[in-house]
Amino acid sequence: MLDALPDPNGAAPALVDPFGRSITYLRVSVTDRCDFRCVYCMAEDMTFLPKRDLLSLEELDRLCSAFVARGVRKLRLTGGEPLVRRNVMSLIRSLGRHIESGALEELTLTTNGSQLARFAPELAAAGVRRINVSVDTLDPDKFRAITRWGELPRVLAGIDAALAAGIHVKLNAVALKGVNEDEFDAMIRFAHGRGMDLTLIETMPLGEIEGDRTEQYLPLSAVRADLARRFTLEESSHRTGGPARYVRVAETGGRLGFITPLTHNFCESCNRVRVTCTGTLYMCLGQEDAADLRAPLRASEGDEALHAAIERAIARKPKGHDFIIDRTHNRPAVSRHMSVTGG
């Protein structure tokens, strides 16, 4: 049963799941569309949602604000690629009011970097202080092969623009066996040399893709052991509110994160829920159980039905996910693609 924590100021009660975990982090996919087709995320010939099925930007603002009113302190916009959503900056500027009021600690986004050169100054002006940029390789040809449509120089120019605008950038790299495992040393030095953190991520079994996932899967336990032969990895208490666990690399002075849903899941401290661009709330990335928030959102101008739907959903948040990859489980743990829920 959902625990409702009373607020001495009379505000709506915070959200706490059945396992006593406070829900303080919301990830919202503003679109399922993307201008890349990364091999571990999408099929090359994707069918995207009809635009009429998507929540409007005004509805997304109202939904996010309802969660902020219930204790969410970190809001991350994702996709697909969030910056390809038409007029998305109007949403980001509007949500920035929660930063100004102090209700929200952080407004951030995960991006492939393709549109950053265009939007970085506006993002900084809207209150975005930190972003994650997905870069799986520093080899232009390999980058093109992984993303199918992406151009590395354009992404690097976007990163330059974000840094120049005063936005802290963290690079995310999915560890892919036989693809980029020989590049991690160079990526660490590249990121740390520019004051950026780097987080390595195990590939996750979401959605049908071409090929066998066991051919891609590279356990980060093995990666970390290999890196430790050349770098001094010092344990760090640094946390960003997400699932990454960090070490400090003594030789560079920078931080290196590991997101390990398969070799060591991070469910025990999960404070996150995800909402899709159609208003579907997933209480766990690795489970199919979901709640429709679009219907209560559109049922009335008031938010009572929306808050009730959120409460019922959080009361069903599971203890952990069902991710597994091996030769007998090489099909996705869940059928939806990563671009639907935004990771």
Q: Give the residue extent of every domain in the chain.
A: 3-341
27, 271 in Cβ contact below 8 A? no
CA dihedral sign, ordered 293, 298, 301, 305 = negative
Q: Say if residue 134 carries a ligand binding annotation.
A: yes
Q: Say if residue 284 carries a ligand binding annotation.
A: yes
For residue 107, how far is the Cα from the chain centroid?
A: 12
Q: Say if residue 40 carries a ligand binding annotation.
A: yes
Q: Say if residue 38 carries a ligand binding annotation.
A: yes
Q: Output phi, psi for 295, to 5 deg.
A: -60, -50
- Tens place of pLDDT per residue across the chain (343 aa): 344 444 444 468 999 999 999 999 999 999 999 999 888 887 777 888 888 889 999 999 999 999 999 999 999 999 999 999 999 999 999 999 999 999 999 999 999 999 999 999 999 999 999 999 999 999 999 999 999 989 999 999 999 999 999 999 999 999 999 999 999 999 999 999 999 999 999 986 654 545 555 677 899 999 999 999 999 999 998 887 678 899 999 999 999 999 987 655 557 778 999 999 999 999 987 677 899 999 999 999 999 999 999 999 999 998 875 544 444 545 544 454 454 555 5
Q: Say if residue 34 carries a ligand binding annotation.
A: yes
Nearest to 77 by CA among 50, 104, 47: 104
Q: Which two tokens stand for residue 279?
A: 């208003």
CA dihedral sign, ordered 269, 128, 196, 160 = positive
Q: Say if residue 283 carries a ligand binding annotation.
A: no
Q: Say if residue 294 carries a ligand binding annotation.
A: no
Q: Say if residue 97 carries a ligand binding annotation.
A: no
3-341 has CATH 3.20.20.70 classification:
yes
Q: In what order do the strands lie in the sheet with 130-134?
A: 233-235, 245-249, 254-259, 197-202, 168-175, 130-134, 106-111, 74-78, 25-29, 272-275, 280-282, 290-292
Residues making up the chain, counted from first to last:
343
CB atoms within 10 A of CB 312: 13
Q: Say if residue 51 carries a ligand binding annotation.
A: no
- Given 3-state DSSP classes, what are the helix, strand and coil percentages for the chain, each rounded to the nearest 5? 30, 20, 50
Q: Say if residue 277 carries a ligand binding annotation.
A: no
Look at the pTM and tell me if it is higher than 0.75: yes
